[in-house]
Amino acid sequence: MLAPWRKFTRWLAHWMPKRLYARSLIIIIAPMVLLQSLIAFVFMERHWQTVTQRLSTAVVRDIAGVIDLMETYPQDPAYENLIRIARERLSLNISILPPDPLPAPGPKPFFSILDSILGEEITRQINRPFWIDTIGDSDLVEIRIQLDNKVLRVFARRSQAYASNTLIFLVWMAGSALVLLAIAILFLRNQIKPIQQLATAADSFGKGRSGPPDFKPRGAEEVRRAGAAFIVMRERIERQIEQRTTMLSGVSHDLRTILTRFKLQLALVGSKVDTEAMEQDIDDMQSMLEGYLAFARSEAEEETGTFNLERLFAKLKEEGILLKRGFTSKIRGKPEIHVRPNAFSRLISNLVSNSFRYARNVSVAADHREGWLTIIIDDDGPGIRKEMREEVFKPFFRLDEARNQDSSGTGLGLAIALDIARSHGGDIILDDSPTGGLRAIVRIPA
């Protein structure tokens, strides 16, 4: 019993709309439709059918009374008085026809309770061969009854035998439902809109974008509280980033001053001492300092804008030619993306430069569809062991394998690349490449 229920819930979750506005509409519409369907069923079952039954019974009773009078008082062969009384008192237009056979039964309408109820009442009260015609939009119902040597034809108003106010009831019910639904949709849109604005602002901030400048908490109290909490969180994070950048700028100035003094002292020493090793150490320290500052800043102050992947790949191809490396690229979807241009260029350049350093051939494939950008970078280098693929993203981490034989690196390239990817709301995954080396997968919303 539990397994079918789980299958049903999974099927329902699969076909249910995913957006809050659509789900809220279903929450409003479904009970309304269910309630009105129940009311319509009860009305049809109890009121409509019961009233039609009673009206049809009264009409057939009047017809049976006319037949009894015709058979009890046959003195008037033309039945003029009976016809007059039936027309004036019973609202029945009757006529006497020759004893011809009754017409063949016509096709019954798809949905009509009048035919069945009238037929049942005529069979129960009169029990003579009959023919009825209720088809069409006429206000009259024709009934023919086979008597001994004649045929009685009766025209009765449809309203005499049928509850004609049903359509009015259904129209009022559907009309009132539409009016109430329209009012509910208007109020619901006003309640959902602040939530959508909050989601847009949070999504933009998570992707490293500035977000809507006019965002203010609106809507219900709970939504206002969530919006206010988001604004406070965003301001706190921006303040921390600004404080960190300011502090690092000061640290950079102080350290650069010290390094400049070291260089000046080494220059004054001249050739008295072998200073080549010390100068190399100073250059390495300065390179590590610049790399660390770039990693810490992560281009946080840069605004988002449109970036063209084709131009970036063309630049990387030229770099590959200078380094005598093979480079191929392809793009599926639009080449324009909305990111922080300088930061994103550094992200891809760091990964491709890393492949250029350790491999002979590099290929890049970009797929920009359905709101996501996926860039796959493959090389034929020595690769990275699986157990070390998380460690290489740590700042200043250096491998002992073949991908670390170049001493010019500072151990910050992959750390900076990952930091930039995550600041755009994405991530970087390392895997084995089909070409035998390393595969780097960059996936960000764009």
Element (H, E) at 367: strand 361-369
Q: Determine the CATH number of domain 21-167.
A: 3.30.450
pLDDT of residue 121: 87
pLDDT reported for residue 351: 92
* Percent of the chain whose pLDDT exceeds 70: 78
3-state secondary structure of 379: strand
304-401+409-445, superfamily in CATH? Histidine kinase-like ATPase, C-terminal domain (3.30.565.10)
- Report d(CA 183, CA 372) in Å as an integer: 37
pLDDT tens-digit readout, 311-354:
999 999 999 999 999 999 999 999 999 888 888 898 999 899 98
Which pLDDT belongs to residue 179? 86
Closest to 339 in 3D by CA, of 375, 370, 299, 303: 303
- The yes or no reply on domain 216-301 and CATH 1.10.357.10 is no
Residues of the chain with pLDDT under 50: 401-407
Q: What is the DSSP string of 394-446?
A: STT---SSGGG--TT--S-HHHHHHHHHHHTT-EEEEEE-TTSSEEEEEEEE-
pLDDT at 362: 94
- Contact indicator for 182, 162 with CB cutoff of 8 Å: no
At 336 the pLDDT is 92
Work out whether strand 361-369 and strand 326-333 pair parallel, antiparallel, or are unpaired: parallel
Query: Residue 350's closest CA among 342, 338, 360, 361?
Result: 342
E strand segments, 125-184: 130-133, 140-146, 151-157
pLDDT of 301 reads: 57
Give residue limits of the domains in the chain: 21-167, 216-301, 304-401+409-445
**What is the per-residue pLDDT for 205?**
75
- The number of residues in the chain equals 446
Tokens representing 140 are 């009259």
Nearest to 442 by CA among 384, 372, 369, 391: 372
- Nearest Cα to 425, choosing from 202, 212, 208, 199? 208
Q: CA 392 → CA 108, 385, 400, 428, distances in Å?
A: 81, 10, 11, 12
What pTM did the predictor assign? 0.51
What is the side-by-side strand order in the sheet with 140-146?
Answer: 92-97, 151-157, 140-146, 130-133
- Structure confidence by residue, pLDDT tens digits, 174-190: 888 888 888 888 888 88
272 SS3 class: coil
